[in-house]
Structure 1
Amino acid sequence: MSCYFQGCSQKGVTKEHIPPKAFFPKGEKDQLLTVKSCVAHNNAKSKDDIYVLAQICMNASPSNRAREIFLKKVKPQLDFNNGALRKKLAAGSVQLPDGAVKYPVDTNRLNGFFDALSCGIVFKSCGATLPNNYSIKHVYCSLIGDQDPIMSQIEIEIEEFYSGKPMEFMEFGKPNTNNERIYTVDVFGIPNFGSSITLVHVFFGKFKVISMLTNLVQNTANKSKHSDAVNGAGV
């Protein structure tokens, strides 16, 4: 069986946990989902797992489960290796006028993590690797940023649109997540890669990320049809 990751032709010789086993406390790891992975893609993001978990827990408050996982999984790592994780989380932090502290987020690390998670969920849902003609982008609904107000409004509307369950014809597949107190995901899309795909990840019932997997070939074809229609109408 091939590796789960998009564009990888290597054999899947190891098991990749989705989400990573670092997200689950002792005694609940029997509920982990796994996919076949090559060695490279199994190890590529392992260094980011705790960083991403820390960001999720810090931004999932108030959630007792997020606090529990933070204390058990993240806190012991803060002083490890001369406080490397603590330094990464605190780098560039700014104290706000109300006394609160704003911590920057390394979105490249989050993007890499959620790229892999999205590929894993797609593979688990349908038993096939995400085709190369799909691009992947993520909307971090639970992070507060300094982006353009128009983009912020667009993201709010995207979140509202995908706030419910997929309609039957848009049920791409079900990965059968087992521990929904920690992680849930809904997958929107026509089965067999008949459309673009949207994944709505929720951690601890609070931290939401929407992954937009866009079928570029389909979008190009639709634009071509629209252009032909406009030209045919003499516009």
Structure 2
Amino acid sequence: MSEFQRVLQESLIWTEGLAAIISIIFYKNAKDSYWKYFSIYLIVMFLSEVFGKWGGNLIEYSKPIFFNYFVIPIEFLFLYWLYASKTFKKPKLFYIVSLLYLLSFIPNEYFFGAGKIIFSFNYTFGCLILMILVIMEYYRQINSSEILHFNKNKMFYINLGVTLFYIGTLPFWTFFNLLSKYPELWNIYFNYFLMTGIIMYILFSISFIWGKQSS
């Protein structure tokens, strides 16, 4: 890892922390709506990243198990809930996509190698589901009056952040093993992964500051 990538990686963690702190500051505006869970989500993600980076100094644990079976599933399941159940108001859609995502662990266990920090198949499948929800959200925004006041729409910032990070890095994790054979290309994608992660959490922070709270 280059020095530039180390700086980006450190910045990503502390940007997550910034988003968590801002969500706490604005929590009083969200406590009576489902957005309070977004605040809790950001806090949990920050603490998980901190534990993932420094937890090994305190206790012995498996980082692949921690991320693949705890952190990443929480990320996807929460975002599915936010999009499907709350934004689209389709709880059944949330249950369907969540079940499909959880079922993707089965072929992952049997046909793909274990011990990786991120399971490529499982992550790819989760991102594909998320990409469908993201496209649906863009379509919803474009075809509603919300587009006239997008700067006050929390989901505008969240959707943009998710697009840049999760959807934008989909090829990186899908073809991770293949890209690892081409260091220059791998480094470009890895830099993009870190930079868009920072941008995403900045956009999440902005969603609390500028976005209008809704119940």
Query: Shorter-normalised TM-score: what interval?
Result: 0.3 to 0.5
TM-score by length of 1: 0.31
Structure with greater strand share of residues:
1
Larger Rg: 1
Structure with greater helix share of residues:
2
TM-score by length of 2: 0.33
